[in-house]
């Protein structure tokens, strides 16, 4: 079969506010690769979205995690339980946090911020920290590095895009000139921005990584937060 690239729309609510994220699926005759997988509890929604494109969770061969944030890997452990054969990939810098060998940097950041939150934000901050602690670690089967070429869907290049987190990666599907951005790029009013720059662990690096993606002049950018951006 010819290769296909899809975005899934995964919508959930946290403290009364709904949010939609867009995991990507890369599909060819050999592989069905999911890029990021949503929050804790998102697996049934992912399953429903996969069904729309003729796939099941058991059909997935790989899961690529762009980084260790809860909205990107929260459903990973549940996904592996449903499909024990799936292979999970991430960068070497993110692997210790995904696997649970080290305390996630995002949780450390949230706990530190909790100490200085204004009173009206304290309850939200406590709930967010509690949510981050509930994220189940999952074993990573393979490490990806910036510049690495993979034969998925006619050719996929790993792009190192640190800043949001230290080991964040994006994927460039060279044949179709499609960039899967993770949190390196989000859309705000239809335009590209860094995702939640106030929470980037290295804001300057995050801005540089966004510039790197834009300089590659992809024909389409598939943003986890915002959907598809078409530059032209």
Furthest CA-CA distance within the chain: 56
Q: Inter-axis angle of helices 105-114 and 119-134, to 10 degrees?
A: 160
C-alpha to C-alpha distance for 214 and 221, rounded to whole angstroms:
9
> pTM value?
0.96
CA dihedral angle for residue 87, residue 92, residue 96, residue 99, rounded to 10 degrees? 0
Could you report the per-residue pLDDT of 27-47, keeping only the tens digit for each?
998 899 999 999 999 999 999
Percent helix, strand, coil in the chain, to 5, is 30, 25, 40
Residue ranges of domains in the chain, CATH in brackets: 4-229 (3.60.15.10)
pLDDT tens digits in sequence order for the chain, 232 residues long? 578 999 999 999 876 789 999 999 999 988 999 999 999 999 999 999 999 999 999 999 999 999 999 999 999 999 999 999 999 999 999 999 999 999 999 999 999 999 898 988 899 899 999 999 999 999 999 999 999 999 998 899 999 999 999 999 999 999 999 999 999 999 999 999 999 999 999 999 999 999 999 999 999 999 999 999 999 7
C-alpha to C-alpha distance for 61 and 63, rounded to whole angstroms:
7
Residue with tokens 């992809």: 218
Q: Which of 49, 66, 229, 38 is nearest to 140 (CA)?
A: 66
């Amino acid at each position: 079969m010819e290769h296909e690239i899809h975005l899934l729309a995964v919508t959930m609510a946290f403290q009364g506010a709904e949010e939609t994220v867009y995991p990507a699926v890369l599909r060819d005759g050999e592989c069905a690769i999911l890029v990021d997988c949503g929050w804790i509890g998102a697996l049934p929604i992912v399953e429903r979205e996969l069904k729309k494109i003729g796939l099941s969770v058991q059909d997935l061969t790989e899961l690529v995690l762009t980084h260790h944030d809860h909205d990107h890997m929260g459903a990973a452990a549940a996904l592996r339980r449903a499909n024990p054969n799936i292979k999970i990939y991430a960068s070497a810098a993110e692997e210790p946090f995904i696997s649970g060998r080290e305390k996630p940097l995002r949780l450390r950041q949230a706990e530190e911020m909790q100490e200085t939150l204004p009173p009206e934000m304290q309850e939200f901050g406590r709930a967010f920290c509690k949510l981050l602690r509930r994220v189940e670690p999952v074993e990573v089967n393979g490490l990806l590095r910036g510049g690495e070429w993979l034969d998925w869907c006619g050719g996929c290049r790993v792009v190192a895009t640190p800043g949001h987190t230290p080991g964040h990666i994006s994927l460039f599907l060279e044949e179709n000139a499609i960039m899967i951005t993770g949190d390196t790029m989000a859309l705000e009013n239809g335009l590209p921005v860094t995702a939640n720059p106030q929470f980037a662990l290295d804001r300057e690096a995050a801005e540089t990584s966004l510039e790197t993606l834009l300089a590659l002049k992809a024909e389409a950018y598939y943003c986890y937060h915002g959907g598809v951006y078409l530059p032209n």
